A and B are shown apart, each in its own frame.
Chain A
């Protein structure tokens, strides 16, 4: 359907009428030729790519990808629970487990055992037994007691228990500002061989609502320090032998003395550091929190699967959008250059066409 003609200057009406009256007509041969052409089957029109239609499809694809990624995330979380990792401990009530299962690996100076966080209502706490290797042993216990009276007496009992086990109190804080609720915090150090007894006694003060055990193997570090100390001792001995010679010049003797002094100083520092590490490894740090509050107020409520899935989906979507934005920022200058190139090429082609038609 032709578009409605727009007004052409009235001055040219006569000319326009003459031109329209003498419109060129195609010859019969041309008509037949085109009709012959039209009888051949025209190829079907190809559907065109349209951004308007593509956007909802892309959005849906992104959503599906995010949900899939979240589902994979849920799957992997579940597998961690099955595998007995930290999250299992968070959800399951504390249950005694064989000490060997929880013991740190025999080697490795990094955190040997994954932090263990136990939350439950059982009265017994399962603390991994310290091995014969040197370890940095830290435990954290949250114990709920009945009331403020129990809080006070339990705090005192915990301090007595610490001393009876050969340990000492590093921090003691008692806080019962008003009402029926109160807390007390004790940070104690006990010999590492008695830490299981300490945890067992602390757990009897009330109901364990949370427990966290963190063990770092320091044996390798101490072994390295021992090797360095031995090497330094050999160096000192060698230097002392050298200095005992009588054929040394004054300069040589002075240099050897300096080296000997430096080696002895280093040896002293290394020995002190090693002793400090060993001393620390002989004592375990136990942080005991006694409280009258409900466990729900203390521990974060575990998230439901749906909430977690939604959080994962939002997180994945956020990541995707971040990447898309980053890609856009990186590509923007190139896109702008490409657009400018296309525009220039189009303008050049138009100019060439105009010249061609004006000269034809």
Chain B
């Protein structure tokens, strides 16, 4: 998954490697272990659902969709090219498997709530997973949605905050402090869980615990490392939205156990 991200962003010459790498373990767990989904089930509501609220992590989302069979893996390197189905940010109308167009931050959780209501009204015991960035917690709409989900007892919504601690202009706590983030969600009526979002066993266990929780929505605050897996990208805000050059690309692929 991480090698796909590096290859796509390098081929495109632009994109957001940092937030894709930090959330790669979470997305992998969801698409290949936790969620029941498949290209054949795409037109059915009776499956689990995923909304990528942090739309700039599109590369890791596309990698998961391609590896799940929604479109050919070879298509990944067309990211951001003219007429490609893989837009810079996810588009419901362009890409097979993408449930919702996102990119303008702070909007995904509202959509997840609406979808969860629709599933509930159709009597489907399915879950909507919503992956959010930590920087986007500054958007007011996130908290409108947080209030809504607990008011309507949407226990079929699981929000995951990719808490990598960095946003474009620097550390989240310097740009717009979020802590105590868990207390904020708790005050909004959510069941709050924490995990190391780069530890696959913890990710799987916590997602299972969240799924079992009933009566209120659950948020998982996932501590992650931005740029995880590539030494020079880790905790480096410079790689929030920048592609590696050829030399960096070769090193990144080597570190990820692949060949450039």
Q: Do A and B actually bind?
A: no
| Residue ranges of A at the interface with B (Cβ–Cβ < 8 Å) | none
| Residue ranges of B at the interface with A (Cβ–Cβ < 8 Å) | none
